[in-house]
């Protein structure tokens, strides 16, 4: 098991409805030493890519993306959730269905911060059905930029997002891939990784 898998086994809680709760170290209280390890691992896995910017989504991807950005020495842009119906022409817009909150959020990125010259690493905390990632990919496409890679902390491999994104041809690296989990026993089984 790698460092993140070990931490999930130690402190993660399996909830009903296919939810893995990791709020004691990842998306509420945040363990910065663990984040540093994740950032360095993303840097190692995407070492050959000409990444000049990291893109993530509000809110829980931001912490991991910031630490990763330090490792890559590049800026971070996060897609903002926007309630506004009057979106002006200065932003890229995409609709993202939230897995945990079961509602559709409109997310926006200012055109000032993303363009055709950008080589993007997309970072997020979880990958489930892939809606968040598809929204972010659409924003990079609208900007004419290049998605160089996608880095995820925890992929739930029994949900379809990972397979969909890999089929689309994107280099996707998930630090921990949960193959199955059981809320009755609390067990989590990981997909073996090279």
Could you tell me which residues are annotated as the binding site for xanthine?
20, 27, 156
In angstroms, what is the minimal distance from the CB of 17 to ligand 5GP? 9
Sole binder of ligand 5GP in the list 5, 41, 124, 148 (CB under 6 A): 124
Binding residue positions:
20, 27, 128-132, 156
Alpha-carbon distances of 10 from 7, 36, 43, 154, rounded to whole Å: 5, 19, 25, 15
Determine contact, residues 112/135, Cβ cutoff 8 Å. Answer: no
Binding residue positions for 5-phospho-alpha-D-ribose 1-diphosphate:
128-132
Sole binder of ligand 5GP in the list 2, 29, 58, 100 (CB under 6 A): 100
CA 63 to chain centre: 11
Binding of ligand 5GP at residue 41 (CB under 6 A)? no
Sign of CA dihedral 96, 47, 118, 55: positive
DSSP assignment, residue 3? H
What is the rounded CA–CA span in Å between residue 110 and residue 91? 4
In angstroms, what is the minimal distance from the CB of 117 to ligand 5GP? 27
What is the rounded CA–CA span in Å between residue 192 and residue 151? 17
Comparing CB distances to ligand 5GP, the nearer of 125 and 148 is 125
Binding of ligand 5GP at residue 19 (CB under 6 A)? yes
Binding of ligand 5GP at residue 152 (CB under 6 A)? no
Q: Which residues would be at the binding site for ligand 5GP (CB under 6 A)?
A: 19-22, 27, 60, 99-100, 124-132, 156, 161
């Amino acid at each position: 098991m790698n460092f993140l898998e070990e931490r999930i086994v130690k402190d993660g809680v399996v909830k009903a409805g296919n939810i893995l709760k990791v709020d004691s170290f990842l998306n509420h209280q945040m363990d910065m030493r663990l984040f540093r390890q994740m950032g360095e691992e993303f840097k190692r896995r995407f070492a050959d890519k000409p990444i000049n910017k990291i893109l993530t989504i509000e809110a829980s991807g931001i912490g991991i993306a910031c630490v990763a950005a330090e490792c890559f020495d590049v800026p971070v842009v996060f897609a903002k959730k926007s309630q506004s119906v009057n979106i002006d022409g200065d932003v890229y817009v995409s609709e993202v269905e939230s897995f945990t909150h079961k509602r559709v959020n409109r997310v926006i990125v200012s055109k000032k911060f993303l363009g055709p010259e950008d080589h993007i690493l997309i970072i997020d905390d979880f990958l489930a059905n892939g809606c968040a990632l598809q929204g972010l990919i659409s924003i990079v496409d609208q900007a004419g930029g290049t998605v160089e890679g996608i880095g995820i902390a925890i992929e739930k491999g029994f949900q379809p997002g990972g397979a969909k994104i890999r089929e689309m041809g994107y280099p996707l690296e998930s630090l921990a891939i949960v193959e199955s989990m059981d809320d009755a026993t609390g067990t989590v089984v990981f997909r073996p990784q090279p």
